[in-house]
Amino acid sequence: MTLKGALFLLITALFTVSGQVMMKLGMPDSGSINARNVLTSPMLVVGALCYAASFLSWLQVLNLLPLSIAMPSMSINFVIIVFVSYLVLGEPITMFKIIGVVLIVGGVVFVSQG
């Protein structure tokens, strides 16, 4: 994996995770989802923009790396989201989540070697 490829993978992951967190924070308390709620919520709009940036960055990843390495490497999203959810949303980090993170990281290391 090239340094440039790894950098764009990280950028893609950070935009994806940021988009998820923004959308979670932007969801109305009522849970009602309609066009008006979506278009008038700054957090949801920013979340969608993060997703758009993630898409563009992902295209560059696909240009730089084999898909068989790029796609499994995006599992790093699951690792990042566990910690960001804890820091930003106050979600607990359980032993099962820690074990899952270790297994994901191990899997990504194995796949990236191939």
The 10s digit of each residue's pLDDT in 51-80 is 999 999 999 999 999 998 898 889 889 999
Number of domains in the chain: 1
DSSP letter, residue 27: S
Q: pTM surpassing 0.85? A: no
Can you give the pLDDT at residue 87?
A: 96
Domain that holds residue 107: 3-113
- Other beta carbons within 10 angstroms of residue 25's beta carbon come to 15
Residue 74 CA to residue 60 CA, distance in Å, equals 14
How far, in Å, CA of 18 to CA of 58, rounded?
Answer: 15
For 22-40, how does the pLDDT look when each residue is reduced to its tens digit (9 = 90+)?
999 988 665 677 777 777 7
Instruction: Judge whether residue 48 has pLDDT over 70.
Output: yes
